[in-house]
Amino acid sequence: MKQEPIDALRAVRLTREQLAFQARWSFARHASVGVLLGVMIASFALPDGWPIAVVAACLVATVLIVRRDRQRDGFFVSGYRPGRTLPVTIALLVISFGALLAAIVLKADKGVIWAPIAIGLVLAVLATAASILWERVYRQELMAHSHGE
Amino acid sequence: MGSERLDPVIHPPARLQLMALLIDVTDIEYAKVREIIAVSDSVLSKHLAQLGDADYVTLRKATVDTRQRTWIAATAVGRRAFCGHVAALQALAAGRQISED
């Protein structure tokens, strides 16, 4: 009687493990997240008008990256999905907004013109690392013995 | 995790595997699903139609490089049903009774 649910749970686990095996993204893909976020922040070092254009270009690039993910992988996983990856996403969002505020304040109020570029560089590294961490946490979640564990 | 409830729509092994795959992605292409759960086109289509009738999945057609592809996503209703079904399976595997409602 208990064997059927055990077999069913095993099938679920094996399916998720197969997805975990395929959920691997290159360093370049992770770095693209860092570069896009970093460039958006660094653009605030440019004269008025340019940051909006750069941010718009980054948003277009994001759409193209998502499209390429779908073509290459045959599936897409949103960074905002619920689960164990969400704290990583939220931490990156908080850091990014902090970086944006710091870049604007340091340039506009303190006159440190190069601050957005320095902050953008640091954010690029942090966001790349966060993206790599996100992938690891995602795979660990898929490899957990059963859903919801 | 949702309430423990065995779901007859998800119960067949292929549909259980299909939902297990959909639950952790935003969407996934038809061919990729076929590759991972190793079923024929006709079997996959039949199971998708049944999951679609229960409002557990949505299908979206998109043309990529002149080829039309079908993308499959689990709905919120389907996600809840899957979590409840897995919770019920876990309860049964642990030797616990589940309520029948």
CATH architecture of structural domain B13-93: Orthogonal Bundle (1.10)
DSSP assigned state of A44: G
- pLDDT 10s digit of each residue in chain A, 149 long? 578 899 999 999 999 999 999 999 999 999 999 999 999 999 999 988 899 999 999 999 999 999 999 999 999 999 999 999 999 999 999 999 999 999 999 998 988 999 999 999 999 999 999 999 999 999 999 998 555 44
Q: Is residue A69 part of a domain?
A: yes
Contact B29 A78 (CB under 8 A): no
Domain of A118, in residue numbers: 3-143
**How does residue B2 score in pLDDT terms, banded at 50, 70 and 90?**
low
Q: Is residue A109 part of a domain?
A: yes
Distance from CA of A21 to the nearest CA of B (A): 11
Q: How many domains does chain A have?
A: 1
ipTM field: 0.89
Rounded distance between C-alpha atoms, residue A122 and residue A137, angstroms: 22
Rounded distance between C-alpha atoms, residue B53 and residue B45, angstroms: 12
> Cβ of B31 under 8 Å from any chain A Cβ?
yes
Q: What is the pLDDT of residue B97?
A: 81
Q: Is residue A41 part of a domain?
A: yes
Q: Is residue A149 part of a domain?
A: no
Q: Is residue A148 part of a domain?
A: no
* pTM: predicted TM-score of the whole model, two decimal places: 0.90
> Cβ of B23 under 8 Å from any chain A Cβ?
yes
B91, exposed or middle or buried, with CB in 10 Å at 0-12, 13-18, 19+?
Answer: middle
Beta-strand ranges (E) seen in A85-141 are: none
Longest dimension (CA), chain B: 52
